Structures are given as C-alpha cells and as structure tokens.
Structure 1
C-alpha cells in the first residue's frame, strides 16, 4: 500500500440509487457493483447537491453547494475562482485526469478579462474543471452541434462507420426492417439494438480509454474521474443488453391519482413537459426501462473488466474506488420524466466506496444510513492524499472516518439539494421571471421539506410514506415540522462559506494582533 493511494472516481450519469441489486432491485444484474459494496461501504442515504447534470457535477468537483459555486444549471459557467479536485490534488503529486463527461461550461468571459489563453496549459485546466482532459466526452452530440474532432466519432470512423455523426447514426440508433436508421433520440426505438457491436459502444470505449490512462500513470499516484455517459439518454443499448430485460422486469410505477388530487404548482408544471407526459404512459415505461436496465448491466460488466485490469497490474489494492451518480431518473414515477426535482428517484444517488487500506477492514460490507452529500468526496480525497483540508472553502466533510472506524462524534443533521429551473418550460407555465425559479430541499433522513420561492412548501414523511405519495406541506398537524425545517434551511444559508481567500488558520493567527503590527488605533 502506497502512502498516497490512487483514486478511481466513477460516476454513471442518471443512475438511480435503487437500480442496483445491492440496493434492493429484484431482477437487475449488477454483480460487480454489488461485490464492490460487499467489500466497502454502501451509503444508502446519499444525496446530490442539485438533481441535474451540470450543477451536480460542479458540486462534486468543488466540494461546495450550488448556492456557493453559482453554476446552478447546465451550461452556466463555473467561475474561475472556484477550485476543483485537480487544484487540490495536483500540488500533492497526483496526476488528475478525466475520461468521460463533466458537463462543465468554461468561464470564457473570466478568462478574457484576466488574459488567460484557453489553449495554454493553465487555460486548458480552467476550461476542463481542473482535470487533464485525457478524453472529454459529454455524450450529447445532436447533428447540429457535433464536434468534428470528437474522439469517439474519430474512433468509429476509423473502424469504418461512416456518416456526419457516427455517435448518433451508429452508436445511438437502431435499424428498421428495411435497414433504415431509427434514431435513439426517439424512445419508441429504444428496444432495438444499437447499430454497432457491443465492443465498439460508448461504455466499452470509455473503459478502454480509462485503462490506457491508468497504464500511462505508473510513475505517480493518480486520480481518474471515470465518468460514464450511460445509462443517460438516448436510451439505446447494444446487443445482447438491448433485450436482456423485458416488461416483466419493469417495476410498478410509483404514481397515484392521490398525488394529482393535491398537486403542487411546480410539480404540475413539470408534469406538462414532454418527457413527463410520455413517461406517464405505461407503453413508454415498458419499452424504456428494459433498455435502461440493460445499459446498467453493461456498465457493471465493464467495471468487472476494469477491476480485473487493476488487479492484473497490481493496483487494485492500492486504489480507492468510488461508485456514484450525478442524479437519478424519474422513469415515470410521480407522473414525471427526467430529474431536476427532489423525490428520492431523482435526488438520492448511489454512493459506494471501497477503501483498500487495512484500517478500513472493520467497515467492509457495511450499509451506512447517515446522510451523505456529493460535496463530501473532495475533502475525502484531499485527506486520503495527505493534504490539509481547506475547511474555509470546502463545505463537505471527509468520509474517511466512516470508511475506517465508522465512528464520528457528530455527523450532519441535514442534507441539502437545490434546483434552478429557469431554463425549463415549467417557468412559462408558472409565469415566473428567470430569477424567481429557485427551489431547495432539506432532509433529516425522515422528514423531507421542499421550499419553493413564490409557492407553498412540500413536506414528506419518508418513514411512514417512503414512496412520497402524501404531501403534508399544507397539513396543519405537521406545521411544526415545516417550521422546524424552514428554520434549519435559514440556518444553513447563514453558514455558507463565502470567505474563501483567507484560511481559518490565518485568521486565527492574526486575531487581536493589530497593535503588534503597528496599528495603534484606540490607545490613549
């Protein structure tokens, strides 16, 4: 065991926490992830800081809430002043690389203002969220936006797949009976196998590139953010995963007419989106969910291949492995599609960590139900690497004590998740201005409270109503819980870490020393 273990930070885009065998799904096959949990710690109450790709990932990478880092939605630039994983680990001797997706939007205006060349070594790091972009691929390539130098497209072209956009035309489309290309963008086609062999798929290619990065990083400790695109849409899988599951594997939808009887205005507005109306139809769920499950099992199989590679080169027992997701997927639950709101299907995420060090032996196989947040990973990595955790910046807490002894004097009482839906059509239905669309969730593990600007709150009792079917936000009998959690939310706002340029240690060292430094104010 090296003094600085490697870090393999795996994220699967849009992977629901409950779509793993270890987490209770009755038919899905995820033996590799399940075995990882059996050898590590499975945090069963982990929450994303924002249930949509961009802001969630910016919180994962900065260790700060969306309120603090400001990149509150997809394609909102992360400001240059925000430090990320690479800024913390690179000075400690780590090679910090990316293979896959970040959904990070660079702060072009900030770089222009400071005269930073985006093509310089510093500019590239600032443009790629602090990662060395060994292979950046966000997996979102409509024809009108496809990059001519997308590495995966070039890879496919090198294998003989033609067309303007092989990512779409081959890897994310199927074929009709007469050989016509049927786009995976349309969910009616997701039962078809992708037009490429499994070995050429995005998940296989991404795994190959991860192994190449690891193979090239033998001379120093490394942190690799391996960020898989799937099971995010387009929901289409290569054979044999496309029909590995069928309608019999589709769990009953978690939606009821009772919910519609007391609709919150924001929920009702989101129910009017195309994805929600379509996922509310059982024929759509019966077609999409088997493909979604197939993509998850494909991911699991490639993780088995990756872990076997690490063992082969002698690095598995020297590598901390994290398996998580940026958010979940409604899949029709609560009459909704996509994510963005705060039901468990959307805001709760898988969080499995295998710490290979001997001091973690006592916690192996543990299921830990303490509240975990995405922002906890950065301080965990910094402490593991032997660095000083900058507590005046980072808003998460290191998980190392929970991975080793499992004992901490006091853990967090609440978990937070935030939303900014200014870009969504729901805003028009609600007649809101772009700066009126904030929502925030706070939970203590039992009670979940959602504050919406300009609208009434929601309240759910996760103990008595784990399916979140009964909104108690207007129930006078639960007014005290609403008041308690609203106050806790106010307290949370007051505790945000805004003084990020001077450490707490520096402040402590300077406190009360003005006279010693020659500033003789107030003396007689």
Structure 2
C-alpha cells in the first residue's frame, strides 16, 4: 500500500461558519462534524474566494481565483482544458472519486453556444461549447445512469447530484425513478404544515430517498468497495444542503423549533445602510418578491426563525450522514491513514440584517465558512487556527500533504505549517471576488465587487459605484457601522485600498510559464 495519505473531503452547500456546534452555535447539535474538530484543527478565519457556488467550487478545484480560472459567475463553465489538483493526485497514482454535487458546469438546460451573426466571433476564447452540458437535467432524463466522459476534472468515478432538495437531479434522480417513481415525478408535492416562510416545503419523500441519504449511501459503498485498494484514495463527498429550499425530510423537519433561535444583527442596527441593503429593504416594504428563487430577500422575523429551524434540520441530517461515512471509513481499516477535511462552498445571510439566501452584498455570513482539517499523521495539530485562509489554499495544502508540487499558476498557498502552530508565513490579508450576472439591488450594472479581509479590517469596493464599505472587524464584529466616509479612518481606508490593489495586480495568469532558452 502507498505511503501517501488518503483524503476524504466533505463539502456542504450554503453553510455559514457559525452554524456548527464546534464553532459555537448555541442550539444546533453537530456531534459527528464536531468530532472532526476535536481530533483536528478548526479554522476561525477561513473565507471563500467568491461567495457563489460555481466560481468558488472552481477555485477549490484549481487553487485559482475566478478572474483567472474563468468560471466567474454561475452559468459559466470551468474550461475542460483547466487542470485541477485532483488531476495532479490522479497523475500521482490516486484513485479519485466524486460523490454528490460538482457544479463546475451549469445545471439547467439551455443553449450554451454563444449567439451571434453567421460568421461572427462572439467570444474572446476559442471554446468547443458542444463538449459541455454534462450536469444539465436532460442528460439524466431516463432511468439508466448517464455515463459522463472520464476523467471528469480529474475524477475517475462520478456519482452526480445536481440542483437542490426535492428537485435534485443527476444520477440521484435516475436512481429515484427506479426506486421511488412517484417521488421522482412529483418533486414539489408536500405534506401539510404551518410554516409560512418562502421556500419552506415539507416533502413526503422518505428520509432514505432524500439526496443527503443517497450521497451518504453512495459514499459508504465507495469506501467499502475500495477498502483493500493498494492505491491511495481521494474521495470528494459533496452535499447540496443546507441550500434552500428549506425542506428537511421526515424527523428532521421538526427537530428544531423556530422559537429556539436568536436573531443576529438586524437591518435597524445599521448606522447608514449601504445601497444594496436599502434596495432590499425598499422591496420588502413594498411587498415586492425577488425576481428569482435564488435571489436574496428581506423577511419578517418569524420567517427568519423558520428558515433557521429548517436549516438546522438539514444540517442535522448532514451531520448524521457524516457519522455514517466516518463509521464506514473506520470499518474499512483506512481511517488511520485518511486526512478528513470538512468545508462549505459559501454561506447564507440566514437572518443577518433581516436577509435570507445570498447576493451581491458582501458579509461575513456569506464569505466565511467552516474548514476543519483532521489529520491522524500530522503531529501537534493546533485545535484552532485563526490565521486567515482562503478557498484557493486548500488545493496546495492537499498537494503538499501528499508530497506533490502544485502546477504553475496556482495562486493559493499551503497552510500546513499553521496547522502545527507556525504562523510566520501566515496571510496578512486575503482577496474575495464577486461577479454578478444580473443588475439588481440598486447597482448601476451587474455587480463587480472586490473585498479585502485582514485580521482587523474588512474593505469592500464595488466597481463603478460612488460608495464603498470599511468595517472594524474587532470593535464592530456585526459590521453595522460603515467607516468608509469617516474622516478619522481615511488613512485606514487608504492602507486597505493599497493592499487590495496589490491583490488585484497579482490577478494575472502565470500559466503557461515562459520557456527560456538554456
């Protein structure tokens, strides 16, 4: 058997940092995920490269920022020509598998070819758009498993789950059609309930037929089937929950009561609400519903608490699934050689300033997510790492742990030294990118936002707008007092802007490297 460690990466979807027991949540119970933190390192300041599913998942896979890897906002594709850290592992002899959500290509059926006049050139890149579409629902319209072309972004085994909740598709829906045909054809059917929160849906799908259970069972089978594999394993297990709609099945629906949950910072707490928050407030007062189910919206206090309770139910189901997966890993005999990593792709406002979901207003609630590194072979792991870390840092850290070199153009940095308490090379600041495909929430164009985070400050600059945001992270942890225009903080704004500019200057693709003659 190889001396290289196995890796098991577990990812959730739209799961903010403080919604785990080990990160201090006073109501939610997550004993199995907490056990990973108790035997490993929990990160206190881990931030996404972008608080949007597809761009950040591509940053996780490539170790590169969206402006460089090309998947800038939902609806784009990670180019098939892009290398991922999984490709590096595979080339080094790892058996690679993805179970659950991938979301490196769009999950809706629509024409992906650029539109233009006959003979015109519509895009800056020469791309074969006919090669994409492997995550679209039409690929999974039957009952027999659709075979993706392999390797798929470095994965040799794919068990695909697309979309969310009862509407989840991919290989999951093909399995559902074979085993629960009525549930498969009636995804929005629900049982009676007294919740009035938008997107609250009490599904009649049995617990064992819900996507979380399907992913749990598929992951368990994969670990069991590879227990005696001589090669090292990299297994990516990705749950579509606790992303909306709010539809935990069975006993998880009423596991928590809305009255148990306290609200965080409110809209009324803001000294000078920035334009996107004011736009959301004006929509709320006018009774205007969001243009799409994926758009953030402001909600009444009862709706916020209901969303919290149902989200807690979805996370509880994930935690139980993690427990089953960890038990299977233990039974396989490979636990002592497996690095287990738990994280999420982005967060959710989930009551922050009276908002739900996510959108083009940057907050820690959508930018800061869990990261736990549980490593049986690294000695003297610190229980808590509060050094700044980014999504782009996971790929180089995994490769370093496997004893492999990153490829040219990888922008992240390994944080292995920080896991053992050495912060001499820790980040002084990090960059977060946000690119919107829609003009909304008071922006004069589709939002282009660049944010800087340091231990002390959060700076957010929307391109083309006359305003910005600066918050003191230590004295104003809820970030309700915007110091952008404060005269006594002009120097801080200047210094943070200079640091942000350094990050932006570095956003150049360093691959391919120049080949100089000897």
Q: TM above 0.5, one fold?
A: yes
Provide, for residues 333-365 of structure 1, a one-character-per-residue CA deviation record: whole Å limited to 9, x for no partner.
1232212332111100100010111xx23115x
Q: Offset at 1:164?
A: 5.9
Q: Structure 2, unaligned stretches of length 5 or more?
A: 107-111, 115-124, 135-146, 284-288
Equivalent-residue separation in structure 2 for 1:191 and 1:139 (angstroms): 16
Q: Following superposition of structure 1 onto structure 2, how do residues 380-459 of structure 1 map, counting pairs within 5 Å?
A: 380-390=397-407, 392-403=408-419, 405-426=420-441, 429-432=442-445, 434=446, 437-455=447-465, 456-459=467-470
- When normalised by structure 1's length, the TM-score is 0.84
Taking the aligned partners of 1:92 and 1:486, their CA distance within structure 2 comes to 41
2:360 aligned with 1:349:
no
Shift of 1:115: 9.5
Q: Which residue of 2 aligns with 1:65?
A: 65
**Structure 1 unaligned regions, length at least 5:** 518-524
Number of paired residues? 479
Deviation string, structure 1 residues 24-43 (Cα, Å, up to 9, x no partner): 11111111111110100001
Of the structure 1 ranges 47-56 and 69-78, higher mean CA displacement relative to structure 2 is found in 69-78
Quick check: which has more Rg, 1 or 2? 1
Superposition pairs for residues 44-193 of structure 1, below 5 Å?
A: 44-105=44-105, 113=128, 124-125=149-150, 128-140=152-164, 150-162=170-182, 165-166=185-186, 168-169=187-188, 173-176=189-192, 187-188=197-198, 190=200, 192=202
CA contact (8 A) 2:349 2:356 kept: yes
Pick closer, same or farther for the CA change 1:70–1:316 going to 2, 3 Å.
same
CA shift for structure 1 position 113? 4.3
Name the SS for the 1:174 alignment partner: coil
Q: How does 1:12-51 map to 2 (within 5 A)?
A: 12-51=12-51
Equivalent residue in structure 2 for 1:205, among 211, 214, 225: 214
Q: Which range moved further: 129-138 or 300-309?
A: 129-138
Measured in 1, the distance between the counterparts of 2:312 and 2:494 equals 40
116 and 468 in structure 1: CA distance in 2 versus 1, 3 angstrom threshold = closer
Pairwise CA distance, 1:151: 2.3
Matches within 5 A, 1:226-241: 226-241=237-252
CA positional deviation for 1:104: 1.2
Tell me, what secondary structure is at the counterpart of 1:361? coil
- Decide whether the 8 Å contact of 2:433 with 2:449 is kept in 1: yes
Q: Deviations over 1:88-123 (max 9, x none)?
A: 11111012221111221279787864997999xx98
The alignment's C-alpha RMSD in Å is 2.9
- Residue 2 of structure 1 and its aligned partner are, at CA, apart by 4.8
Matched with 1:376 is 393
Q: Does 1:486 align with 2:497?
A: yes
Report the TM-score when normalising by structure 2. Answer: 0.85
What secondary structure, in the 3-state scheme, does the structure 2 residue paired with 1:317 have? helix
Distance 2:508 2:95 in 1: 28
Q: Aligned to 2:299, which of 252, 271, 280?
A: 280
CA distance in 1 between counterparts of 2:418 and 2:238 reads 24
User: Of 510, 513, 517, which aligns to 1:502?
Assistant: 513
Q: Tell me whether 1:265 sits opposite 2:275 in the alignment.
A: yes
